Every structure is written in C-alpha cells, then in structure tokens.
Amino acid sequence: MKELSHFVGGARVAGTSGRFSDVFNPATGESEAKLPMASADETNAIIEAAAAAQPEWGATNPQKRARVMMAMVSLMHRDMDKLAEALSREHGKTLPDAKGDLQRGLEVIEYCIAAPQMLKGEYTDSAGPGIDMYSMRQPLGVVAAIMPFNFPAMMPLWHVGPALACGNAVVLKPSERDPSVPLMLAELFVEAGLPEGVFQVVNGDKEAVDALLDHEIIQGVSFVGSTPIAQYIYSRACANGKRAQCFGGAKNHLIVMPDADMDQAADALVGAGYGAAGERCMAISVAVPVGEETADRLIDKLVPRIETLKVGPYTAGDDVDFGPVVTREAKERIMGLIETGVNEGAELVVDNRNFTLQGYEDGFFVGPHLFDRVTPDMQIYKTEIFGPVLSTVRAGSYEEALRLAMDHEYGNGTAIFTRDGDTARDFASRVNIGMVGINVPIPVPLAYHTFGGWKKSMFGDLNQHGPDSFKFYTRTKTVTARWPSGIKEGGEFNFKAMD
Ligand code: NAD
C-alpha cells in the first residue's frame, strides 16, 4: 500500500513515529494509502527547520515573493487535472467541484501577487520638528495552519498563500483524510521558486497539533474545522501567547420570502444544500420559507429536484451531482442524525435511508434527504449535520425567520431570497451573521474581500484572505525617527522643540 509522507526542507520525508492513519477512497470504501502521524518530536524538528529557513525569506523583497505566487498560479493551471483527480479520489467530491476547490484557492494566490502593494507601510513626514514617523508590516516568523478535510486545496491555499507572501515560514497540518493535494501543492511551491524549508507539511493528529500549539517558535495559528476543536485551539494558542484565528462550524439558513422567484429559490437550495454532499461550511442546511403557502410551494418545487439528483463516484462523469461523504464514521453519524430527526417528529419528505449504489456498496454514499416541519428545539436543527440533508423550518413572518437565524449559535453564512429591496436591506443590516447573500445562496466572498463568520463560527479578530490576511500574518512596527539637523542647539538636543 502507498505510504505518504511529510514535506520537509523542500522534499517528501517519511514519518518515523511508527504510527499511521488510513487514507480512504470514499467511493470504494477502500484504504488506499497509509499516512504517517507525526510525533511531538518530529513536529518540533519540522518547526525548527522552518525557523532556520524563515529569516532569509522574510528579508526577500515582496516583489520577489510575489513572483513565486505568479509562478505558482501557472503551475497550478498546468497541473489542474492531476490535482483535481487526486483531490476527488481522497475527498469524494466530483471533478468539477474539485476544480472549484482548486480554483478558489488559486484566486487567493493571485491576490497575493499584490504583496508589494499590501505590505506598504504608512509614513508621516515632519510629525515634529525634524521628526518622521513610519510604520511597517513585518512577518510574524513561523506560523501554523491546521486545516479541515472538506476543501483540501482551497483551505490550505487561503492561509499558506498570504502567510508566505508576507514573508513567514509556514507549517501546514492538513486533514488526515485527504493529505495528498497539500503535499502536491508544497512540491509546486518549491518548483515555483520558494526556498526549501519555508513551507513544511506535517501530517498527524492531536499529538502534532498540540506540539504546534505549544512550541514557542510558532507565532501565529490559523485553524479551520469544527467548532469544538476551533475553541480548543483558540484557547490553547492564546494561552501560549500566540496570535490565533480559528474558524468553526456552521448552520446556514436560507430565508424564502413569499415574493421570491420560487424556481430560483428551489434551484439555489438544491445546489447549496446538496452540492459536495453538503460538506461545505457555506452549505445551506436550513430552508426557512415565510408563510404556510410559501412553504407548500417551496416543498412542491424541491421534492422533484431532489429526487432526480444523481449520486455517484467522481469517475462516473460530469452529470453526477455529488459523491460520497468522506468517511464511514461520517456516513454513520449522518444516518444516525436522520433517524434522530424522524424520532423527533420532523417529516422526512425525501427519504433515501435505503440508498445504495450498485458496484459501490462499500462506498460512503448517502442519498439526499429533505425534512419538513423541523422545529428549533430539535437536535437536527441545532447540530451541523455536514451531509446531504436539508431541513425546512416554517416561519410565520419575516421577523420570525430573521430571529431564527439570529438565535442559532452559528453565524457563518445566510441568505434571503426576495424581490423586495427593503426587506433584503433590512436583513443584511440586522442579521448577526458574517456573510450574507441576497438572492445568492452561497455568499462566499472573493479573494480580495474577507471570509469569516460570527458567533460560534469564528474565534479571533481577523478573517481569512483579503486585506485581513495581510494584517493577520504581519506585525506592525512603528518607528519615530529624529535627525539632529533643525533641532540641535549648542550641541544638545532641544527636547522643547518637540512640543
Ligand atoms: P475537524 O475539526 O475534525 O478537524 C480539523 C483539523 O483539526 C484537522 O486537521 C484535524 O486533524 C484536527 N483535529 C481534529 N481533532 C483534533 C483534536 N482533538 N485536537 C487537535 N486537533 C484536532 O474538522 P473537519 O471534519 O476536518 O472539517 C469539517 C468542519 O470544518 C465543519 O464543521 C465545517 O463547518 C468546518 N469548516 C469551517 C470553515 C470556515 O471557514 N468556518 C471552512 C471549512 C470547514
């Protein structure tokens, strides 16, 4: 069986801990590779090697660093098919989805080409007599990125790109579910001209993560994953004096007003609810039609659309709508939550509990499910299911729908479908959620804006990509400089001249 590795000093390096985790092909259910789980000692050595490589990279001028990003963009285009295949094979998503994952990561690398512009400091001429004041942005040093399984290219690139462009060295800890694409991206960065050791990949689990969180060399920690782990990582990183940004789970509501274009809303819900098997932090998992009539019309439109969705392996061609979920445990968890929903009294209007795919009986496939008449006290409403399951909560009024979204503990994304500008504007202004769509179901901001949720979907201050990422991965230093000419009297500095 294939044995994967870490990536250290510009090359793949075998693990030495003797501990391994299986990497599955979710479509067949077979383990296809063994992934080394780094020990704390291995992780520490990888961090220390990154620290040795960082100063020279940090001192490299931003334009040269930007050129590495330019080359990386070309190399990713060159290898797009190969990367997408490797991504789908371990994650399970369709090839078009895998290319989307890569493309949205690549767009942040394109944005990083603006590093010379983004890293320009501020300058005040003559802040006092003979005194100038300027601030500059300097890299943090060595930073860690601990990433989730669901976007194995995009999520690492959102963090590694800006961190490198700012002059940091990065230690990436990819998800143990789908580590091959991050390793391929590390190789491409070296081919793009990144000095060896500046981008290291450590594969592992809690032991490696804890070593990253505790090592004094690590200055910044970026985490993306589930909320309980985000909270844990945020508190441990902060307790150790590190800068941290930790992005957590989601339960995104899409509100359908009575005046919405119902076909458009139904199409949007199907794409946003079931695309990538619902394994997106910006997936819509709750539909909130306003009024009984709207709800009935929406359900009538949704059911035939959901029933004709095609579930299959990524190898089955472009007409597959979504693939398997990532692991057997994920499938069992989702199926368990569907049973919970039925037992709680929700109405399962599209029921695929007996779904199997001929020839792929051992794959981790879950058919699409639709619940109606879900209520806020139910477990299936409170929990992030992270599977192809859409819940419908009927609201009596716009205010009730808004309150639902606002009262939920998560605050990643939300959307409203309406033709009424006043309602849309009111919603965008009042809702306590980080990313809002108006007749757009998955409002993922582009690379030059920032991405981040509110409430239990985000711990920290600065968002992912866009201008915030350049702030997160740099420290501001402000220099006040005084030169003798103009304030020197009788060979002494005249401090009064500063008044
Ligand atoms: P996860 O929390 O299980 O794992 C994320 C990372 O944390 C992995 O690298 C994993 O190895 C590590 N990890 C897991 N348990 C740990 C522990 N006990 N101690 C230390 N490290 C640990 O998340 P996942 O299942 O890979 O990803 C899915 C989750 O990510 C969903 O909740 C989804 O909403 C969320 N997500 C959020 C965003 C966002 O921007 N808010 C984006 C993508 C995914």
Identify the pLDDT of residue 483: 77
Helical axes 206-214 vs 40-59, angle rounded to 10°: 50
Task: Determine the pLDDT at residue 317.
Answer: 87
Cα 147 to ligand 1 centroid, rounded to whole Å: 6
Closest CA to 218 of 137, 138, 139, 141: 141
Whether 386 is in the pocket of ligand 1, judged by its Cβ within 6 Å, is yes
Count of other CB atoms within 10 angstroms of residue 129: 14
Tell me how far CA of residue 402 lies from CA of 125, 416, 483, in angstroms: 49, 10, 59
| Strand pairing category for 122-128 and 131-139 | antiparallel
Give the Cβ contact number of residue 380 at 10 Å: 23
What residue's CA is closest to ligand 1, atom 30?
225
Span 347-357, pLDDT tens digits: 999 999 999 99
Ligand 1 geometric centre to CA of 193 (Å):
30
Q: Residue 193 corresponds to which tokens in the numbers above?
A: 């001209």
CA 490 to chain centre: 62
CA–CA dist 169, 112 (Å, integer): 15
pTM for the model? 0.96
Angle between helices 206-214 and 227-239 (to 10 degrees): 30
Integer Cα distance of 397 and 403 in angstroms: 10
2-248+457-480: CATH topology is Aldehyde Dehydrogenase; Chain A, domain 1 (3.40.605)
Share of the chain above pLDDT 90, in %: 95
Report DSSP state, residue 121: -
| Res 262: pLDDT | 98
Element (H, E) at 238: helix 227-239
pLDDT for residue 257 is more than 90: yes
**Would you say 298 and 264 are in contact if contact means Cβ atoms under 8 Å apart?**
no
260: pLDDT strictly greater than 60? yes
Q: How far is the CA of 276 from the centre of ligand 1 (A)?
A: 17
> Distance from the CA of 299 to the center of ligand 1, in angstroms?
32
Identity of the amino acid at 277: A
For ligand 1, say whether the CB of 35 is within 6 Å of any of its atoms.
Answer: no
Q: What is the mean pLDDT of residues 453-464?
A: 98
Integer Cα distance of 192 and 198 in angstroms = 13
The CA–CA distances, whole Å, from 310 to 211, 277, 305, 313, 318 equal 43, 11, 10, 10, 10
Bridging pattern class, strands 410-411 and 454-455:
antiparallel
**Ligand 1 atom at minimal distance to the Cα of residue 173:** 9
Cβ atoms < 10 Å from Cβ of 21: 17
pLDDT tens string 211-235: 999 999 999 999 999 999 999 999 9
Helix (H) or strand (E) run with residue 117 in it? helix 115-118
Average the pLDDT over 78-86 and give the result. Answer: 98
How is the chain split into domains, by residue range? 2-248+457-480, 252-438
| Ligand 1 neighbourhood includes 413 CB (under 6 angstroms) | no
Q: What six digits make up the tokens of 107?
A: 């767009």
- For the segment 363-386, the average pLDDT, to the nearest whole number, is 98
How far, in Å, CA of 13 to CA of 36, rounded?
10
Distance from C-alpha of 160 to C-alpha of 453, rounded to nearest angstrom: 20
Atom of ligand 1 nearest to the CA of 147: 9
Tell me if 434 sits within 8 A of 406, measured CB to CB.
Answer: no
Reduce the DSSP state of residue 254 to 3 states and report it: strand
Say yes or no: domain 252-438 is CATH 3.40.309.10: yes
Q: Are strands 252-256 and 413-417 parallel, antiparallel or unpaired?
A: parallel
Residue 273 belongs to what H/E stretch? helix 262-274
Does the pLDDT value for residue 409 go beyond 80? yes
Pocket test for ligand 1, best of 147, 155, 226 (most atoms within 8 A of CB): 226
Residues carrying an active site annotation: 281
Atom of ligand 1 nearest to the CA of 228: 2
